[in-house]
Amino acid sequence: MNLIFAVDGNWRIGYGGGMLVHIDEDLHRFRRLTEGNIVIMGRKTLEAIPGQKPLENRINILVTRNKDYKKEGFYIINSLEDLFPLLKELNPNKEKEVFVTGGGTIARQLLLFCKKAYITKVFMDFPEADTFIPNLDLDPDWRMTNVSEVYRQGDIYYKYVDYERKGQ
């Protein structure tokens, strides 16, 4: 299982149910990495997606506590205890990668099961942000495996940092 997020300098990922920044190349990278695979998201993350539709060419799993929630194109589960049996059913040979795409609560709950993380580090701070993920730089179980050059879109500077759980 993998994490895939864009974070600010304090590992914040969102505000009011939306993303902190919109970086075109980061969205292309997200698509390249996740296409053909499985994505897991919470209801608030889904509601931040334009049109609230499943991501194309991916198996979409939605986690919500609302047992009556229905959304076409999604496998809907009401607890993370239901996730692993569903993943075994959908991906019995583990041919597909699984990406945790949001939000912060789900990321924190699934962190122990993740082996890789694809993080876009945005060189800005968003103090109004209300959603975060754990800082992998401070977690002794994680190590950086790749750091890109610094890129720029307008006045936004960012880089890609890949992590791997130690011992993997």
Report the CATH number at residue 14.
Answer: 3.40.430.10
Question: What's the pLDDT tens digit per position in 75-99?
Answer: 999 998 999 999 999 999 999 999 9
Residues 6 or more apart from 121 whose CB is under 8 A from it? 6, 7, 9, 158, 159, 160, 161
Q: What is the mean pLDDT of residues 96-103?
A: 96
Nearest to 5 by CA among 105, 87, 94, 95: 105
Domain total of the chain: 1
- Span between the terminal Cα atoms of the chain, in Å: 12
Q: What gap in Å lies between CA 125 and CA 133, rounded to an integer?
A: 14
CB 99 within 8 A of CB 114: no
Backbone angles phi, psi at 109, to 5 degrees: -70, -30
Cα torsion 29, 31, 36, 39 to 10°: value is 110
CA angle 154, 159, 161 (to 5 degrees): 160
Q: What is the mean pLDDT of residues 23-31?
A: 97
Tell me: pLDDT of 63 over 80: yes
Question: What's the pLDDT tens digit per position in 107-127?
Answer: 999 999 999 999 999 999 999
Beta carbons within 10 angstroms of residue 61's beta carbon: 22
Domain region containing 47: 2-165
Q: How far is CA 66 from the centre of its chain?
A: 21
Tokens of 8: 């600010």
